[in-house]
Amino acid sequence: GGAQMKVTARNLRIREDTAKYLRNLDANSAYYDPKSRSMRDNPNPEMAAEDLQFAGDNFARVSGDAVGLADTQLFAWEAADKGVQEIHPQANPSQAEVMKRQFKEKSSDLKSKQRKAVLDKYGGAEYLDGKDGLGGATALTLSKDTLKGNNDSVNDRKVRFGVSVTAEQYTRDGRMVKGANSKMRVDQKSKYEEDVFVNGHKSVWGSFFHKGAFRWGFADDHSLLKNSYYSGENGRRANDEANEMRYGTGVVGSAAVAQAREMLKVGGSRTSKSAPPTSSALYGEADQSQSFDQEKLKAAKDRLEKLNRDSFQSDDRKRKYNSVDAGVDVTAEDMEAFRMTKIRSDDPMNKLNKDELLEYTK
pLDDT of residue 216: 92
Give the C-alpha distances (Å, rounded to integers) separating 206 from 173, 236, 348.
21, 16, 74
Read off the pLDDT of residues 235-264 as tens digits, 9 standing for 90 and up: 999 998 888 888 877 676 676 777 777 777
Q: Cα separation of 130 and 152, whole Å?
A: 12
pLDDT of residue 208: 92
Return the percent helix, strand and coil in the chain, to nearest 5: 45, 5, 55
pLDDT of residue 218: 93
State pTM to two decimals.
0.27
pLDDT of residue 258: 72
Computed over every residue of the chain, the mean pLDDT equals: 75
Give the C-alpha distances (Å, rounded to integers) separating 155 from 29, 159, 207, 304.
46, 6, 50, 108
Q: What letters, b where the CB count within 10 A reaches 16 and e where it falls short, cover 154-184?
A: eeebbeeeeeeeeeeeeeeeeebeeeeeeee
Q: Cα separation of 136 and 130, whole Å?
A: 5
Ranges of residues in the chain with a pLDDT under 50 are 1, 131-149, 151
